[in-house]
Structure 1
Amino acid sequence: MKGESIVIITNINIRKMTDNDYEVMAKWLSTKEVLEFYGDVNSPFTIDQVRNKYEPRIRGDVLVSPFIVELGSSPIGFMQYYKLEEQNDFGYSTNQVVYGIDQFIGVPNLFNKGYGTIMVSTFIDFISSNTDADVIILDPEVSNVRAIRCYEKCGFLRVKKFNNESNLLMEFKISKA
């Protein structure tokens, strides 16, 4: 091990998505590796489709908050969070405040380098500090082993399979100090 060093990457920035991000989102949402688990591999997104989907979120017309993840000043990924309706399909009681999150790294050569863990951990801290969330959930495809491993490193627990056993409900319970 002499001469080897461990580098910890800390220059990850998560910022609100803006109208200037449509092009990079369209690029990411046309990438096979992203669409494999975040869309449909046979249906890449155009800039107009990205604008139609994300502009209402940026404007606050839809209660989903979108963010862009940057490494240094370069965009590398996407994250969003939203409050689940009181009545939901996952079995949470109406007195629990549940938020869902979705995310992806848009640059495939950055997969498996620890960025996802930093992104998700940072987002958990942000949501815990800035919302009334009791629980944060996500629902990766069961076949998305890389993402599930990342979420478990961040403290998410497996709850149950659903959607004909193709998705996994995972939760992070926020401890109230």
Structure 2
Amino acid sequence: MNAGYVSIRNMEHTDYEIMGKWLSTKEVLEFYGDMNSPFTLEEVKRKYAPRVNGDIPVHPYIVELNSAPVGFMQRYKIDEDEKKEFGYASKLCVYGIDQFIGIPDLFNKGLGTIMVSKFIAYIRLHTDVDIIILDPDVSNMRAIKCYEKCGFKKVRKINKGLNWLMEWTNGRG
């Protein structure tokens, strides 16, 4: 993706409408949410307002291409129980991330690789991260290839074999 400038900014209350639009798109819901249950604006507000307000420790972001919103990302620190479940040492700082491109016409153009690479750089700059994990659906080959381009490795299947646990390692440890 050569044309355009990709940036990531904090999600704001004014972004609920665009999130509602994206979360009603079958191509987005195929791997993010439930295809049979598009989000209403009220559901978007109920889910994302506590994140935007900082009431829960999940940090939401909007991805922009030339200042126009095109996608969503979020990061969250993995707690001690989850670290244990995934086999990570307690001393490690592990973050989980989720993301999607909200406009299907932008799929398969390299935008996801740019988004994820920039997000890794942002997390490295602003946290003491050792490992970043994500868990794509095993059939989401487009996302898996993107994540591998960004340095993620498949660790093992989780959720009864439905998802890959993939990790990026900072290399400090």
Normalising by structure 1, we get a TM-score of 0.94
Alpha carbons 2:61, 2:72 under 8 Å: kept? yes
Q: What SS does the corresponding residue of 1:67 show, helix, strand or coil?
A: strand
Shift of 1:15: 0.4
Q: Which runs of 5+ in 1 are unaligned?
A: 1-6
Q: What SS does the corresponding residue of 1:24 show, helix, strand or coil?
A: helix
Please tell me the residue identity of whatever aligns with 2:119: F
1:20-31 equivalences under 5 Å are 20-31=14-25
1:82: which partner in 2? Answer: 76
Quote the Cα distance in structure 1 between the aligned partners of 2:167 and 2:14. 32
Is residue 99 of structure 2 the alignment partner of residue 107 of structure 1?
no
Q: Structure 1 residue aligned with 2:152, among 135, 156, 171?
A: 156
Q: Give runs of ≥4 in structure 1 deviating > 3 Å.
A: none
**Stretch of structure 1 that moved more, 103-112 or 85-94:** 85-94
Is residue 141 of structure 2 the alignment partner of residue 145 of structure 1?
yes
Quote the Cα distance in structure 1 between the aligned partners of 2:21 and 2:15. 10
Normalising by structure 2, we get a TM-score of 0.96
Quote the Cα distance in structure 1 between the aligned partners of 2:151 and 2:55. 31
1:97: which partner in 2? Answer: 93
Cα distance per residue 1:30-77 (max 9 Å; x no partner): 000000000100100011000000000011001000000010121100
1:64: which partner in 2? Answer: 58
Alpha carbons 1:33, 1:108 under 8 Å: kept? yes
Alpha carbons 1:87, 1:94 under 8 Å: kept? no
Structure showing greater Rg: 1
Q: Which runs of 5+ in 2 are unaligned?
A: none
Quote the Cα distance in structure 2 between the aligned partners of 1:148 and 1:13. 22
Shift of 1:162: 1.0
Please tell me the residue identity of whatever aligns with 2:144: I
Shift of 1:10: 5.0
Q: Give identity over the alignment, percent.
A: 60
Quote the Cα distance in structure 1 between the aligned partners of 2:10 and 2:170. 23
Alignment: residue pair count = 171
Q: What SS does the corresponding residue of 1:75 show, helix, strand or coil?
A: strand
Quote the Cα distance in structure 2 between the aligned partners of 1:146 and 1:74. 23
Please tell me the residue identity of whatever aligns with 2:96: G
Shift of 1:164: 1.1
